[in-house]
Amino acid sequence: MDYKYIIIGGSAGSFQTVTNILSALPQNYKIPIFLCLHRLKHIRAGFVEALSIKSNIKVVEPDDKEFIRQGKAYLAPANYHMYFELGNFIALSTEPVVNHSRPAIDISFASAAYAFKSKLVGIILSGANKDGAYGLSQVKENGGLTIVQDPKECQVKTMTEAAINATDVDYVYSSEKIIEFLIKINKNI
Amino acid sequence: MLITSEDIEKIIITIQNHSPYDFSGYSIKSFTRRIEKATFDFKLSIDEIIKKIKTDEIFTEKLAKGITVNTTELFRDPKVWHTLRYRVLNKFSENRRINIWHAGSSTGQEVYSMLILLNEMGLLEKANVFASDINTDVLEVAKKGVYNYRFNMEYFDNFNKVIRENPFNYDDYLDVPYSKYFNIEKEKDTISIKDFLKRKVVWLKHDLVNQSNIFDTKFDLILCRNVLIYFNNELQEKVIETFYNSLFRKGVLIIGIHESIIGLMANKFNKSGFVYTKKE
């Protein structure tokens, strides 16, 4: 068990959970975290600042072809898809919306799955559409670990239930258990 | 369908040999995604695509057009336009002329945004505006200047932020009517750009990959947003060099807010966010 990358997807009802996760992780948390979160179309600015307030690790919106470093959380910028290139780079694109979304969780997850294989942990949180279900299946198929937030706990269940239906996921966890797990795997790095 | 890197290499070489296009400097990942999309759109296998590139010029043209990505909107990223208004264009106000090149102008929304802003700043008369794209289909759309109304409500939010509001003083609100620049026909679902703006632009087909400056002039301002992200580092550097050589002294290059110039060319500009000013 040697996980080097974490990717988290969420939509409606996930903001609080993401904030909880980022505030619970210690300042010296090493594993880079990619956040692919839907946001309302007109709220484009201020999201990274809002997430940063309570986060112990640095949250950034990456530039295209930015090198991935430990100890950072990378938030998919509004209105771009976020991809991962072999060679440890992030790539951005303005290709058309997928699942009515840009960034689309399916795109980021499938790309991360292909680039990081068994070194990846994919986590789907609360959300109001089915984006992410395909992406998480790709994480599983490429040997990564799949976690879904317990739908019982989600403000909106659609996204987590779709993910569970599409994939034989490894764990269905409460957000508390997700945090515990993330802290545990960091100790192995 | 699984597309291998050999497939991609074959397609790139075949296109090079049978058309004026060269995609060898494109970022492999995004090129692969576009080819994957083409296999769905044309319902063809990779081998069939390769065969058709060799024999069917019209197909290859269509394929090339489909490979380039066309995303643009009026006043996309209002903070970019605030920067242009208060930190870039204002410096050109004493110029006799302001030459502007929109490279990769797609369907034209960015170009018209610029013209509207110039007009609000009283600089439209001085401006010479050139716009180019590799894809002649999007150039035709740009020339017509007619866009959907229904799915583009954020155009008006953006317009308000850039043209009506003052980011430094929220009490200061200028009620510029939309009808000054657009004919809006809700029943037809269209927003049409007014003629006096359309007349200002010279539209040209231009391929950043293998053409340098074709405009017979240098520029005070070049905008090339969200185009470089589809190129690999070598091609990016080459294109930036074209821009560098096309700028007047102290000319400004604007790239996408999530793009950055890396490598040797970075030293030839003073960078402030996404604003790159040519060093003397």
B55 domain-assigned:
yes
One domain, residues B223 and B110: yes
Same domain assignment for residues B136 and B177: yes
Res B71: pLDDT: 83
Residue range A122-140: mean pLDDT, rounded: 96
Phi/psi for A115 (5° steps) reads: -75, -35
* Burial grade of B115 (CB within 10 A; 0-12, 13-18, 19 or more): buried
How long, in residues, is chain B? 280
Q: Same structural domain for residues B16 and B147?
A: no
Specify the pLDDT at position A92: 95
Of B33, B71, B9, B25, nearest in space to B236 by CA: B25
- What does the block give as tokens for B29? 């990942």
pLDDT for position B170? 84
Based on the fold, state whether residues B158 and B60 are members of the same structural domain. no
Pair B188, B221 in one domain: yes
Last residue in a domain, options B48, B67, B86: B67
Q: What is the mean pLDDT of each run of 10 residues along chain B (280 residues)?
A: 88 95 92 92 95 95 90 92 96 96 97 98 97 96 95 91 92 94 95 97 96 94 96 94 96 95 93 92
For A61, the closest of B71, B233, B258 (CB atoms) is: B258
Closest-CA residue of chain A to B155: A42
Instruction: Note whether B63 and B127 are same-domain residues.
Output: no
Tokens of B67: 């490979």
In percent, how much of chain A has pLDDT > 90?
A: 85
Is the Cβ pair B229, A111 closer than 8 Å? Answer: no
Angle at B224 between CA B220 and CA B227, to 5 degrees: 165
- Is residue B72 situated within a structural domain? no
pLDDT at B15: 96
Contacts of A88 in chain B (CB under 8 A): none
If asked whether residues B23 and B137 sit together in one domain, one would say no
Measure the CA–CA gap between B191 and A113, rounded to whole angstroms: 41
CATH number at residue B105: 3.40.50.150
In the sheet with B275-278, reading across from the earlier edge strand, the strands are: B201-205, B127-133, B98-103, B219-224, B247-255, B275-278, B269-272
Count of structural domains within chain B = 2
Residues B187 and B48 in one domain: no
User: B26 and B125: one domain?
Assistant: no
Q: Residues A126, A131, A150, A175: which is the catalytic one?
A: A131
Q: pLDDT tens digit string along A15-65?
A: 999 999 999 999 999 999 999 999 765 556 678 888 999 999 999 999 999
On whether residue B73 sits in a domain, the answer given is no
Sorted by where each starts, the structural domains of chain A and their CATH numbers stand as: 5-110+134-165+174-187 (3.40.50.180)
Check A93 against B258: CB less than 8 A apart.
Answer: no
In a shared domain, residues B249 and B155: yes
pLDDT of residue B150: 85
Contacts of B218 (CB under 8 A, 6+ apart): B99, B246, B247, B248, B251
Cross-chain CB nearest to A85 (options B29, B157, B228): B29
Q: What is residue A40's predicted lDDT score, i.e. its pLDDT? A: 64
Show which of B67, B86, B114 is a domain's final residue.
B67
Residue contact B30–A65, C-beta within 8 A: no
Same domain, B168 and B260: yes
The per-residue pLDDT for A151 is: 97
The widest CA-to-CA distance across chain A, in whole angstroms, is 41
Looking at the domain assignment, is residue B157 inside a domain?
yes
Q: Same domain for B29 and B104?
A: no
- With CA atoms as reference, the chain A residue closest to B156 would be A42
- Could you list the residue range(s) of the whole structural domain that residue B35 is in? 5-67
A63, A83, A94 member nearest B71 (Cβ): A94
- Is the residue at B241 inside a domain? yes
Contacting residues for A170 by C-beta, under 8 A, at least 6 apart: A140, A145, A146, A147
Pairing of strands B247-255, B219-224: parallel
Summarised one tens digit per residue, pLDDT across range A75-96 is 999 889 999 988 899 999 998 8
Does residue B230 lie within any of the structural domains? Answer: yes
Which residues share a beta bridge with B278?
B269
Residue A24: predicted pLDDT: 96
- Cβ-Cβ contacts under 8 Å, A46 against chain B: none
Is the CB of A95 inside 8 Å of chain B's CB atoms? yes
Residue B222 lies inside a defined structural domain of this protein: yes
- Residue A153 pLDDT > 70: yes
Which uninterrupted H or E stretch holds A53? Answer: helix A47-54
Q: Do B229 and A44 touch (CB under 8 A)?
A: no
C-alpha angle A104/A105/A106, rounded to 5°? 95
Residue B107 domain-assigned?
Answer: yes
Alpha helices in chain B (DSSP H): 5-18, 28-41, 46-55, 57-67, 78-83, 109-120, 136-144, 154-159, 195-198, 233-246
Smallest Cβ distance to A63: which of B27, B157, B258?
Answer: B258
Residue A111 a catalytic site member: no
With an 8 Å Cβ cutoff, are B30 and A45 in contact?
no
**Residue after which a domain boundary falls, among B22, B44, B67:** B67
Are A95 and B260 within 8 A, CB to CB? no
